[in-house]
């Protein structure tokens, strides 16, 4: 199970993309001028020059130690009227060499930013880079420490920071501090994030279209009030049936679906290339014998039906449209997680919907998830949307401001993402395209890439090929006008099958030419879906 959302190796920077850094004569840290931040007040600024600085490997967020850093660190603390908050924006400025670019970095889970862990890889490559805590105590796994005020009411000020306000503050502070230190504004500014960080990137494109020239949004947590509650659907299905499959059974169903649909695209590579075309029915597995924990288990009708409903999702619960389900081939062991209590299996709710529903939708720290069936799920879903869609929905399809600013938005999403449904990213692309109409070519400013067999942000037990340098592709698009048609991708070392692929620009899909090595991207073309 993914116990925390991850920054992951899919976003490790490729030094080849950022060669030829530019030398700059800079002021000392202490000479940096304080930025003006509309709607906020600066209450403190700290400066520190760090020489030969090291940030140690911290899994899962920083896969490798970063050392030899020479940076000017600036930490700006600010507050917003009426919010009773203290927000820190941390900026790292490479000393001696700077590549002329500024990068804002996003968060994961319930953390608005990752601080040193996100800053270090970029600073090592010569970027001026910033992170923000949004005024929240750092805990990616729970909002418990900040969600409710002392009266037990939702802390709207801090939720607003988490939703959108602090991302803009980061851009204003980071760009101003960078310009003051180097005596020149950044040539180009970028946003980089996955999951929560991906959602933050979409917020920037929608609400603050002039902040960044290029935005990389991986597996964006878009449609937050809907999708986070939809993450609870597997637990509601099990609660309704009062049957809780073991992790072994769930993994067996995932692999069985992959085996059934692997070769639909004409290639046997251990992944489902297009989950929407996989029609595997778990009821066909009833009576099958599988080994779990050294014991033989027979697949029951009840467990097969639970898996079917989890894949189906709460699409038309009580005749009303709700949300997507997990794609076939995506692991089930996070959202449909179970555990053993007093010798029996019980549900184990994933921490993101648990935190959201407990503290924001219900404002009840003692809320009991074990009793949530279909009726309660539907009630929670409706309350979540009604209360918070305008605050944290992050799904406005109007990107006309971003288009006018000549911004570029590159989204990518794994088709086996077990935490954020890839259908959401496709849905958003379609809505942006529809909103723009004939007067707007969406591909001029927004491109989406769906990676078959890839888990959340490229983490977990991903068997598919992960985009190897999406950030480099974004920079090339912004600075050279080279719009990406496909992203180069490679399987992680842990994958059972090793191969390279090209991840095609949506709605194109990759198709094997019928000849050539199936483990090589060169044997595939990007074609219209009807041709696949």
Would you please indicate which residues are annotated as catalytic (active-site) residues?
195, 417, 456
Q: Which of 449, 470, 408, 447 is nearest to 17 (CA)?
A: 470
What does the angle CA 252 – CA 254 – CA 259 come to, to the nearest 5 degrees? 90
Asked whether the beta carbons of 460 and 3 are under 8 A apart, the reply is no
Give dist(CA 232, CA 350) in Å, integer. Answer: 8
What does the angle CA 142 – CA 143 – CA 145 come to, to the nearest 5 degrees? 110
Residue 191 host element (H or E): strand 188-194
Q: Three-state DSSP class for 197?
A: helix
The CA–CA distances, whole Å, from 293 to 142, 244, 247, 309 equal 31, 16, 10, 25
CA dihedral 518, 520, 526, 530 (to 10 degrees): 10
Give dist(CA 454, CA 218) in Å, integer. Answer: 12
The alpha carbon dihedral of 351, 353, 358, 359 has a sign of positive
State how far Cα 380 lies from the chain centre: 23
Residue 472 host element (H or E): helix 470-480
CA dihedral 61, 64, 66, 67 (to 10 degrees): 140
Q: Which of 131, 132, 113, 129 is nearest to 186 (CA)?
A: 129
Asked whether the beta carbons of 377 and 229 are under 8 A apart, the reply is yes
Q: Which of 32, 2, 248 is nearest to 140 (CA)?
A: 2
> Which residue is it, tokens 């489902």?
272
């Amino acid at each position: 199970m993914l116990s925390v959302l991850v920054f992951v190796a899919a976003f490790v920077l490729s030094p080849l993309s950022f060669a030829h850094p530019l030398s700059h004569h800079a002021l000392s840290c202490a000479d940096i001028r304080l930025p003006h931040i509309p709607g906020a007040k600066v209450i403190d600024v700290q400066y520190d020059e760090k020489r030969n600085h090291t940030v140690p490997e911290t899994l899962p967020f920083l896969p490798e130690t970063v050392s030899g850093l020479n940076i000017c660190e600036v930490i700006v603390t600010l507050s917003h009227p009426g919010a009773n908050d203290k927000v820190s924006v941390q900026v790292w400025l490479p000393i001696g060499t700077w590549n002329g670019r500024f990068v804002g970095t996003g968060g994961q889970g319930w953390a608005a930013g990752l601080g040193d862990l996100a800053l270090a890889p970029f600073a090592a490559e010569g970027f001026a880079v910033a992170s923000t805590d949004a005024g929240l105590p750092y805990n990616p796994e729970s909002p418990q420490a900040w969600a409710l005020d002392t009266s037990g009411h939702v802390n709207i000020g801090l939720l607003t920071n988490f939703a959108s306000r602090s991302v803009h503050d980061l851009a204003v502070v980071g760009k101003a501090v960078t310009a003051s230190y180097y005596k020149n504004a950044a040539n180009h500014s970028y946003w980089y994030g996955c999951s929560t960080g991906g959602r933050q990137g979409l917020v920037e494109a929608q609400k603050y279209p002039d902040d960044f020239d290029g935005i990389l949004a991986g597996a964006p947590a878009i449609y937050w009030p809907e999708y986070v509650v939809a993450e609870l659907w597997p637990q509601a299905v099990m609660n309704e049936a009062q049957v809780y499959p073991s992790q072994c059974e769930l993994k067996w169903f995932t692999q069985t679906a992959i085996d059934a649909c692997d070769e639909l695209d004409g290639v046997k590579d251990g992944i489902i290339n297009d989950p929407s075309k996989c029609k595997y029915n778990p009821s066909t597995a009833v009576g099958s014998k599988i080994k779990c924990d050294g014991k033989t288990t027979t697949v029951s009708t009840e467990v097969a039906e639970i898996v079917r409903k989890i894949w189906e999702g709460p699409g038309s619960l009580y005749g009303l449209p709700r949300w997507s389900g997990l794609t076939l081939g995506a692991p089930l062991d996070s959202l449909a997680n179970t555990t053993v209590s007093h010798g029996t299996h019980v549900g184990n709710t994933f921490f993101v919907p648990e935190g959201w529903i407990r503290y924001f939708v219900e404002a009840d720290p003692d809320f009991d998830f074990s009793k949530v069936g279909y009726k309660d799920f539907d009630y929670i879903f409706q309350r979540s949307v009604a209360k918070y869609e305008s605050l944290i929905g992050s799904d406005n399809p109007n990107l006309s401001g971003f288009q006018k600013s000549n911004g570029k938005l590159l989204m990518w999403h794994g088709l086996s993402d077990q935490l954020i449904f890839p259908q959401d990213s496709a849905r958003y692309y379609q809505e942006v395209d529809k909103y723009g109409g004939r007067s707007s070519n969406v591909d001029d400013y927004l491109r989406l890439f769906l990676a078959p067999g890839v888990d959340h942000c490229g983490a977990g037990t991903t068997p598919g090929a992960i985009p190897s340098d999406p950030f480099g592709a974004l920079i090339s698009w912004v600075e050279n006008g080279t719009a990406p048609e496909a992203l180069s991708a490679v399987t992680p070392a842990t994958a059972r099958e090793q191969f390279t692929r090209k991840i095609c620009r949506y709605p194109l899909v990759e198709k094997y030419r019928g000849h050539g090595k199936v483990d090589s991207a060169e044997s595939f073309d990007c074609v219209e879906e009807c041709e696949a």
